[in-house]
Amino acid sequence: MKALFEHRCFGGLQGVYTHASEATGGDMTFGLFLPAESADGPVPVLWYLSGLTCTHENAMVKAGAQMWAAEQGIALVFPDTSPRGEGVANHDDYDMGQGAGFYVNATQAPWAPHFRMWDYVAEELPALVSSAFPVDADRQAITGHSMGGHGALTLAMRQPGRFRSVSALAPICHPFGSDWGRKQFTAYLGPDEATWTGHDASVLMQEAGFDGPVLIDQGTKDQFLDLLKPETLSAAMASRRQPGLFRMQQGYDHSYFFVASFMEDHVSFHAEALWA
């Protein structure tokens, strides 16, 4: 692992690191914020998964999360959204290829050799971070925006006991329920829908739910509402009587202005669970 840079930030340290990934078969980059408390021992960690077209950098520089994490004494990890580099498959459409890993393990050509983002985010990167930095692997939470919200919810629900809390901002809630979502899953996982199981937050919520608190924020002016399908996740939460809060935020769109507006709420929500 190599440090690309490290800067003092709100009394802590914001770094960006690169490492060779066995899961994706190439170099991967991630951001990590450590609060001042990490100098005295391991601190809880909040994972932030970004959305389509993003890298590790988007939330790291736009969300304002470090200030709130510093106040709460928790670390933040910002993974990339896909493998990158020479020899890694790509696509002309923004919603496929580099920047659009969808947090799945692809099984289809040309994606299968590198697009193993589930293994990377669920196993490889957490093991690396917990072994190299003062974070507490027993106190983890996860959040994300858009495609990252999809990833956060599916990772949390499929790994009971792993995360103490989960939240999402404008998540892709029901990709199986639209031609748009079916496009990506067919390309990455093939036409057999049985292989898609476990990658739809609304289906998982209805079938299994989450063993902890949930917070969802969705803007009412989001330009992608028809693709995100928030009503399906809201209905699944209500049907299952999932402990949590689903908020429709009046007038907000899909941008990082929306994300930054509610980041304090999400960090505080996770901090309550992480320090309990």
Q: What is the mean pLDDT of the chain?
A: 97
Q: CA 188, CA 172: separation in Å to the nearest integer?
A: 17
Q: Which helix (H) or strand (E) holds 26?
A: strand 26-34
CATH number of 2-275: 3.40.50.1820
pLDDT in tens, 165-208: 999 999 999 999 999 999 999 999 999 999 998 999 999 999 99
Tokens of 189: 């996982």
Which pLDDT band holds residue 236 (cuts at 50, 70, 90)? very high
| Residue for token pair 């988007």 | 58
The stretch 218-227 carries a mean pLDDT of 97
Q: How far, in Å, CA of 209 to CA of 207, rounded?
A: 6
Distance between CA atoms of residues 220 and 108, nearest Å: 36
When pLDDT is cut at 50, 70 and 90, the band that residue 137 belongs to is very high
Question: What is the arithmetic mean of pLDDT over 245-258?
Answer: 98
Q: Cis link prior to 83 (omega < 30° from 0)?
A: no
Taking CA atoms, 52 is separated from 11, 14, 66, 80, 100, in Å, by: 31, 23, 22, 10, 5
Catalytic residues: 146, 222, 254
